[in-house]
Amino acid sequence: MSDLSQEFIEFSIKMQVLKFGEFKTKAGRLSPYFFNAGLFNDGESLLKLGEFYAKSIQQSGIQFDMLFGPAYKGIPLVCAISIAFARQGINYPYAYNRKEAKDHGEGGTLVGTPLFGKVLIVDDVISAGTSIRESVDLIKQNGATPCGVSLALDRQEKGQTALSAVQEVETHYHIPVSSIAKLSDLFKFLENNQDLAQHLHNVVHYRQLYCTFENNE
């Protein structure tokens, strides 16, 4: 587990973005933990989140020209990441989409910089992969190239096949997916945290039922 992923998990727990208990996921599974990036909901926490993303993106080595955030959660994320890079003296343009096309003013579904070059998609997690699929299609329709995806947390849960939802995106679209932290990082974090160790058994059980075991874990 990297220092970055450990710090991010600690920060997420502190902000109550990452909680433990019993939660029903979109897939109908009962999960022993829940991650809600929407609770990074003030300036200070969003700034810190953007810095975590920026470091993770830099460590991934993905080369890109601009950022794209799918509506709705991707919108504040892409703004925060762009600001974090700007604080380093790196000025990346960004764009996001509307759920409904605007029929007045400039119109259309896109807001921000017109899509161009290599576009990095930013989201919080991948569940069914719907927002990523829609983002890839939108980027291609505008003559640009989707070059990767950056996530906050990779839940490492199985998708429609034996692969995880993230692995399915990588395989289908031939683009890399990076994340600040993975479920395997949370597993190791709980192993080394006495205050939260009581949740370890439930996380292990959930992982055995619904998650993939990737190489080098």
Give residue 216's pLDDT.
Answer: 42
Give residue 202's pLDDT.
Answer: 96
Domain boundary assignment for the chain = 3-210
Q: Which two tokens stand for residue 112?
A: 């921000």
How far apart, in Å, do the first and last CA atoms of the chain sit?
Answer: 9
Q: Which two tokens stand for residue 128?
A: 């069914």
- For residue 118, give the nearest of 27, 51, 209, 57 by alpha carbon: 57
- For residue 16, give the nearest of 39, 38, 32, 33 by alpha carbon: 39
Give residue 102's pLDDT.
Answer: 56
Q: Which of 14, 102, 140, 201 is catalytic?
A: 102
Give residue 115's pLDDT.
Answer: 98
How far apart (Å, rounded) are the C-alpha atoms in residues 188 and 104?
51
CB contact at 8 A, 54 and 64:
no
**What average pLDDT score do residues 10-27 get?**
93
Give residue 1's pLDDT.
Answer: 56
pLDDT tens for residues 150-197? 999 999 998 888 899 999 999 999 999 999 999 999 999 999 999 999
Q: Which two tokens stand for residue 126?
A: 């991948």
How far apart (Å, rounded) are the C-alpha atoms in residues 64 and 117?
8
**DSSP letter string, 40-65:** --SHHHHHHHHHHHHHHHHHHT---S
Q: Give the pTM.
A: 0.92
Q: Is residue 205 annotated as a catalytic residue, yes or no?
A: no
Range of weakest confidence among 28-37, 71-80, 155-164: 155-164
Q: Which of 14, 55, 99, 104 is catalytic?
A: 104
How far apart (Å, rounded) are the C-alpha atoms in residues 178 and 8?
14
CB contact at 8 A, 71 and 98:
yes
- Using the predicted structure, report yes or no on whether residue 27 has a pLDDT greater than 80: no
Q: Is residue 14 annotated as a catalytic residue, yes or no?
A: no
Give residue 103's pLDDT.
Answer: 54
Class of domain 3-210: alpha beta
Q: b or e along 74-93 (b: 16 or more beta carbons within 10 Å of the residue's beta carbon)?
A: bbbbbbbbbbbbeeeeeebe
pLDDT tens for residues 108-130? 789 999 999 999 999 999 977 78
> How far is C-alpha 62 from the geometric centre of its chain's CA atoms?
15
Give residue 71's pLDDT.
Answer: 93
Q: Which two tokens stand for residue 57?
A: 């993106």
Q: Is the peptide bond before 33 cis (omega within 30 degrees of 0)?
A: no
pLDDT tens for residues 138-161? 999 999 999 999 999 999 998 888
- Using the predicted structure, report yes or no on whether residue 38 has a pLDDT greater than 60: yes
